[in-house]
Amino acid sequence: MVLPHPAPLFDQVTGFPPDDALDLTLSMPLSLAVYMTMLESTGHAADVAVLRAVFVDEARETARHLQAAMAAVTGPDVADTARLRITHIVEERVPRTNGLRPHVHFFVGQTTRDGREAHPVDLDALAATAATDVLRGTLDRLVATTTERCGLTWGPTSWSPCEVLEPGWLVSRAAEIRAEDPPCPGPWPRRQVFLGRS
């Protein structure tokens, strides 16, 4: 089944999110970000490009899954044709952090779009749904795609339910730096909810 796209919240070239928008920030698993940094620093540009493309595709798919959760965050009276207003921005780096830290900001509006009608969105419910059901699906798809296309081995660690396990130094390195690895504050100061950070 093909999920519908949400409506854009703002134009990425000329606009910016309204002050009351919610920034759902989803970071790539830290071990995968460290792995991409290693690949980039050792001249494996083609491998980095594959992982970058996978993450960009997954960001787009996650936006559709947020749209699919609309009924849970707007109520049963809103028509299926209504669209959440979401603009997502994929970034590769976090200020004052060395190496790649791919992440995506999903800026979500306070209302849906359905022709001329606007319906309020329960942003707290959306954040809760995103942190559980949507995040789980995102990680499952990311694991499946990178396992198939890149041969990565994933599994739980003592501090995360889903990290790249091979080569073994990846988990050790990610465990060393995770406490001091800040999340991205976002390109605009909006209410922010971080997804998937342990």
Quick check: is 1 in a domain?
no
Q: Indicate if the pLDDT at residue 140 is higher than 90.
A: yes
User: Average pLDDT of 58-83?
Assistant: 86
Beta bridge partners of 109: none
53 is a domain residue? yes
**Which two structure tokens, joined as six digits, stand for 24?**
């759902």
Give the pLDDT band of residue 181 (cuts 50, 70, 90): confident
| Helix ranges, the chain (H) | 30-41, 45-68, 70-74, 123-129, 135-150, 169-177
- Cα–Cα distance measured from residue 160 to residue 13, given in angstroms and rounded to the nearest whole number: 36
End-to-end CA distance of the chain: 32
Q: Give the pairing of strands 22-27 and 191-195.
A: parallel
Contact 182, 99 (CB under 8 A): no
Let me know if residue 15 belongs to a domain: no
**Residue at 14 is within a domain:** no
Averaged pLDDT for residues 59-76: 86
Within a domain: 103 = yes
Q: Residue 138: what pLDDT?
A: 93
pLDDT tens sequence across 19-44 = 999 999 999 999 999 999 999 999 99
Type of residue found at 30: L
- CB 122 within 8 Å of CB 130: no
Measured distance CA(105)–CA(194) in Å, rounded: 9
In a domain, 7, yes or no: no
Look up the domain containing 131 and give its range.
22-195
Q: Does pLDDT of 88 surpass 60?
A: yes
Q: pLDDT band at residue 113, thresholds of 50, 70 and 90? A: confident
The verdict on residue 5 lying in a domain is no
* Residue 56 within a domain: yes
- Looking at the 3D structure of the chain, how many domains does it have? 1
Give the model's confidence band at 197: pLDDT under 50 very low, under 70 low, under 90 confident, else very high: low
Instruction: Give the pLDDT of residue 5.
Output: 87
198 has pLDDT over 90: no
As a whole number of angstroms, the distance between CA 168 and CA 139 comes to: 20
CA 158-162-163 angle, to 5 degrees, is: 85
- φ, ψ of residue 22 to 5 degrees: the values are -100, 135
Picking from 176, 149, 132, 185, the residue whose alpha carbon sits closest to that of residue 55 is 149
176: pLDDT strictly greater than 80: yes
Q: For strand 154-155 and strand 163-164, is the pairing parallel, antiparallel, or unpaired? A: antiparallel
Query: Cα(68)–Cα(64) distance, rounded to whole angstroms?
Result: 6
Cut 0.95: pTM above it: no
